[in-house]
Amino acid sequence: MSIKELLVKMKDTSEFMVDLGYSAVLYDDEELAKEVLHLEETMDIYDYHVQITAMLAARNLEDAESLSGILQIASAAEIISNAAGDIAKIVILKMGIPFELKKDLRMAEETVVRAVLGPVKSLVDKKLADVKFETETGMRVIAIRRGKSWIYDPERDTMIRAGDTLFARGHDEGVPLFVELVTGAPYVPKVYEASGVGQLSRAVDIIVEMKNKSELAVGLAYTAVLFENIDVAKEVEEIEREMDEMKYDLQRWVLQAAKHIKDVENLRGLLHLAVSTEIISDAALKIANVVLRDVETHPILAMAIRESDEIITRAEIMPGTDMDGKSLGEIRLETETGMYVLAIKRGNQWFYNPRARTILKAGDLLFARGTTNGEERIIKMSQACSHPK
C-alpha cells in the first residue's frame, strides 16, 4: 500500500479499536477484547510499513523533513491503538469495573451500542447504504458479528443478515432509535446494580469526562492538521494538561477509597482505564504538535484524513437558514446527521465541544466529524431554509 493508504488504515483502525475497547468493557465481552488485541498486531504491521515506505521515499533532507509529519502522525495512531488494547485487557485480565461506570459510559457524549437484528423485514438482506443508519438514528455501524466471524468497519454495500449483532457509535440520543430499528422491539434501558463502593460518583464523573475529552482531543488534533490551524492545536495542548490533572485526581480518590473497601478490584479497573484514556490524549497532542512545532504538513496528510471512514468537515451557517438562531439541541444536529460537532468558530472566538443548548448564528463555522453522508447533510442544513423570507 502507498503511504496515504497506510495512513488511512492506521487512522481508521486506531479510532475503531478505541470504540471496540470501550464496547468490550461495557458488555464484558472477552471475545471482543481479543479482537482488539488482534487489531493491535495489525497496527504494528501498518506502522512498520509506513516507516519502511518513508525511508525509501526520502532521497534528501527536504524529503525527510516533509515526511517527518507523516511519521509523527503514524506513531500517534499506533499509540492510540496500544491504549485501546490496554482498555480491552481490563476484560481479559478480569479487572473490576463498577456497574455505575458502565451506566454512565453509555450516557457519554458519544457511546457504543450493541443490538441483535430481529425479525425486521426492512433490514434483513439489505445493504447498510440502503438503511442509512446515520441519518435515521445518528448512529454509525462500526462492526458486525456474524456467528463467530467479524466484519470490521463495514462498507456501504455490506449486507445485513438475520441474526447479525450490530455495534454502532454515535450520540446517546440515537441509542433508543437504533435499538428499536434493529431489534423491532421497544427500547428498554438496562438497570444497573450498585457496586457497593462508597462515594463512587466522583470517580465515575472523572472517567466519563476523560473519555469525552480524549475523543475530543483526537478529533481536534486531526482538525488542526487538516486545516493547519494553530488555535485548534493549542486547544488540544490545553486538553492534554487537563487530562493529566484529572488522572491525578482519580489516583488520589482511589488511594483514599482503598482504605474503606475490602475488594479493590473495581478500583484497579478504574485506574487502568484512566491511564489508558490519558495516553490517548497524549497521542492527540503528538498529532497536534505537527502544527504547534511548525512541522511541514505533507499534502498526503490532508488527503488521508479526508479519505478515512470518519472524515472531518467544516460548514458555514448562512443567514436566514433553519440553523440560524437555533440551538444544537433544537435542530438535533448530531442525531439528524450523525455528525459530531467538535468546535464552532464565531469571528475570532472558538467554542470547543459545544453543548445541546449552544445557540448557532449566521456566519458560524462548524467543525464536525462523521461520514460522507453526514457531511452532505450538515452542509445542506447549514445552507437550507424551509421558510424563505
d(CA 89, CA 93): 6
Give the CATH H-level superfamily of domain 110-183: Regulator of K+ conductance, C-terminal domain (3.30.70.1450)
CATH 1.20.58.220 domain residues, the chain? 3-98+195-304
pLDDT in tens, the chain (389 residues): 888 999 999 999 999 899 889 888 888 888 889 989 999 999 999 999 999 998 888 888 877 887 888 999 999 999 999 999 999 999 999 887 777 777 777 767 778 888 999 888 889 899 998 988 887 888 889 889 888 788 877 888 999 999 999 989 888 788 899 999 999 999 887 665 555 555 677 788 888 899 989 999 999 999 999 999 999 999 999 999 999 999 999 888 888 877 776 667 767 888 899 999 999 999 999 999 999 988 877 888 888 888 888 889 999 999 988 899 999 888 888 878 888 899 999 998 999 989 889 999 999 999 999 888 888 889 988 987 655 44
Q: For the chain, first and last CA: distance in Å?
A: 52
Q: Write down the pLDDT at residue 11.
A: 93
Residue positions counted in the chain: 389
Q: Write down the pLDDT at residue 76.
A: 96
Q: Write down the pLDDT at residue 57.
A: 82
Give the CATH H-level superfamily of domain 310-383: Regulator of K+ conductance, C-terminal domain (3.30.70.1450)
Fold adopted by 3-98+195-304 = Methane Monooxygenase Hydroxylase; Chain G, domain 1 (1.20.58)
Q: Please state the pTM of the whole predicted model.
A: 0.83
CATH 3.30.70.1450 domain residues, the chain? 110-183, 310-383
Mode of pairing for the β-strands spanning 311-316 and 149-152: unpaired
Q: Write down the pLDDT at residue 389.
A: 42
302: three-class secondary structure by DSSP: helix
Q: Write down the pLDDT at residue 194.
A: 55
Q: Write down the pLDDT at residue 388.
A: 46
User: Which residue, 252, 253, 251, 247, is CA-closest to 197?
Assistant: 253
Q: Nine-digit cell at 368? A: 464536525
Q: Write down the pLDDT at residue 10.
A: 93
Q: Nine-digit cell at 373? A: 453522508
The residue to which cell 487512522 is assigned: 11
Mode of pairing for the β-strands spanning 311-316 and 365-370: antiparallel
